[in-house]
Amino acid sequence: MTGRLIRDVLLPKLDRGRLRPLPDSVVLSGLGDSVAYTTDSFVVSPIFFPGGNIGSLAIHGTCNDLACSAARPMFFSLSLILEEGFPMDQLETIVQSIAQAADAAGVEIVTGDTKVVPKGSADRIFINTSGIGTVQASAIPSPGRISVGDQILVTGPVGNHGMAVMLSRAEFSFDFDLVSDSTSVWPVVEKLIELGPALKFLRDPTRGGIAATLNEISFSTGHGIEIEERTIPLDKSVVAASEILGIDPLQAANEGKIVAVVEKGMGNKALELIRGCPIAKGAAIIGEVTQEHPAVVVMKTRIGGSRVVAEPSGELLPRIC
């Protein structure tokens, strides 16, 4: 639904040239050093989840959008919308997490706003951020640079955030070690930038997981994508959770991973560059851009069959039947 809202209502009225490609962050010219700029809103529920909360998520998510433009995150704005009666102790925990996440990421919050709205007007707390970063690559990653034959990597096991959030929902009573992977991916991107122009495109696979991101790439370039099931890194607890709940881990959100498209033949070099990063453990080449089946993402399954990886639609729901 948001997709149609953007295409049919927002873009026609608002686009003056830079909005149309719907980038996670945009590089602005005419401001001296290349500056990247992004905005995001955080409405996650539950607001506390294993491995983080809405506050740390807000910082990491904004860092990661900037990282997709190869920009070092630097200055953020922070805007809180609180439902009347939101517990003070929860707010303190969230703000503490924001501070810790920002410090760890080398980011300074330089301006902000707070509003309290009547009960029922917001789901406990909403957070909006905007972020500014300085571009560190001479060739800005963008879908326009992707060509047939380019290789696709993911920087670690997928689906952890989405599955951890799902398992921790109130209606389930599972014990599990799985935590969200929420973190700033800038340290990994900083290394990938050393590939120079061979680094074609970056995206953080949040809502909708890598299925959504691969479909976005495929759709915006018009090229096909082929991935291999056996190469996709998955933690065994994510596999277990996905089997128990009947949820596809390719559609589960990630908050500390990057999907990178690199020039053909450069995949192994990219993996070498990021090998030392603690948050890139388990990184793998998962597929390539192909001229077959334009604009469609196809997966070769473990047993040699093939099936389409469709764009996820609707809420992720556990199955029983």
Partner 1 sequence: MISGDESRVAGALVRDIRESCEKVSGTLKFMEVCGTHTMAIHSAGLKSLFPGNLHLVSGPGCPVCVTEKKFIDQAVLTGKKYDACLITFGDLIRVPGSLGSLARFRSEGGRVRIVYSPIDAVGIAAEQSPRPAVFLGVGFETTVPTVAATLKVAMSSGVENLFVLSAFKTIHQPLRILAAKTDLDGFLLPGHVSAIIGSDCYQYLVDDFGKPGVVGGFEPLDILLAIKDLVKMAVIFFPQIVNDYKRVVRPHGNPSAVAITDEVFEPCEASWRGLGLIPGSGLALRDPYSKFDANLHLPVDVPPAQDDPRCRCAVILTGSLTPDECGLFGRECTPEEPVGPCMVSSEGTCAAYYKYGAQ
Partner 2 sequence: MCLAIPMRLIEITGECTGKVDSGGVKADVVLTMVPHASLGDYLIVHAGFGIEVLDEEEAHIRLELFRELAEAYQPQEEQ
Report the interface residues with partner 2, using CB under 8 A. 167, 173-178, 236-237, 239-241, 243-244, 246, 319-321
- Please select the residue that binds partner 1; options are 114, 138, 291, 313, rule is CB under 8 A: 313
Nearer to partner 2, 8 or 171 (CB): 171
CA 219/CA 294 separation, integer angstroms: 9
- Whether the CB-CB separation of 278 and 205 falls below 8 Å is answered with no
Burial class, 39, CB count within 10 angstroms (exposed 0-12 / middle 13-18 / buried 19+): middle
Count of residues interacting with partner 1 (CB under 8 A): 29
In the bound complex, what is the minimum distance in angstroms from residue 244's beta carbon to partner 1? 8
Rounded Cα gap, residues 255 and 64, in angstroms: 8
Question: Contact, 35 vs 133, CB < 8 A?
Answer: yes
CA 278 to chain centre: 18
Q: Does 44 bind partner 1 (CB under 8 A)?
A: no
What gap in Å lies between CA 262 and CA 145, rounded to an integer? 10
CB of 105 to partner 2, least distance (A): 29
Shortest Å distance, C-beta 321 to partner 2: 6
| 164 lies in the binding site for partner 1 (CB under 8 A) | no
**Closer CB to partner 1, 33 or 171, in the complex:** 171
- C-beta closer to partner 2: residue 20 or 302: 302
Nearest to 84 by CA among 129, 61, 108, 115: 115
Contact footprint for partner 1 (CB under 8 A): 1, 171-173, 230, 245-246, 248, 296, 298-308, 310, 313-315, 317-321
